Amino acid sequence: MKCPFCSRANTKVIDSRPVEDNSAIRRRRGCDGCGKRFTTYEKVETIPLIVIKKDKNRESFDRSKIEGGILRSCHKRPVSVEQIESCVMAVENEIYNMELKEIESAVIGEIVMAKLKDLDEVAYVRFASVYREFKDVNTFLNELKLILDNKTDGR
């Protein structure tokens, strides 16, 4: 593995451990050249997944788009980087466990919203407002009422 700091190829593994859901291995590495440490993740290569967009165009699945949406939703919220990474991995795992070759972006959006609702309700509403394209304040209030009703029902 090439060092991201000095680009030397001689690095060594200091520590290895599975990620929470055992879908990847986290490796802590040290560079023999500059002495700096960095983390890598080793993951099983998956079958290419095609996403069908709202306009019916197709594109390759891009994990970074999910990560970016979740990061924007959690901006200035008490959500740790580890929680965000765990959420992204949970979304990705759920998508791949469906064992589909193509998936609609709407399905991905619903999965992300379900995970965000459990993670942080404000982040959920932020994501939903963009994803569901809230047109006015009433649509926004209706979504908030659903959350509040679920809380009072004991969910």
- Res 21: pLDDT: 72
- Res 153: pLDDT: 67
Low-confidence ranges of the chain (pLDDT < 50): none
- pLDDT above 90 as % of the chain: 63
Residue range of the domain that includes 107: 46-152
Regarding whether 139 and 112 lie in a shared domain, the answer is yes
- Res 111: pLDDT: 96
Give residues with Cβ within 8 angstroms of 34, minimum separation 6. 3, 5, 6, 8
Single pTM value for the model? 0.64
Regarding whether 138 and 85 lie in a shared domain, the answer is yes
- Res 46: pLDDT: 65
- Res 149: pLDDT: 78
- Res 90: pLDDT: 94
- Res 55: pLDDT: 94
Regarding whether 90 and 40 lie in a shared domain, the answer is no
Domain total for the chain? 2
- Res 34: pLDDT: 94
Regarding whether 129 and 70 lie in a shared domain, the answer is yes
d(CA 148, CA 91): 24
Regarding whether 85 and 55 lie in a shared domain, the answer is yes
- Res 13: pLDDT: 94
Half-sphere exposure for 21 (CA within 13 Å, toward CB): 14
For the chain, how many helices (H) and strands (E)? Answer: 5, 6
Nearest CA to 100 out of 145, 140, 136, 52 is that of: 52
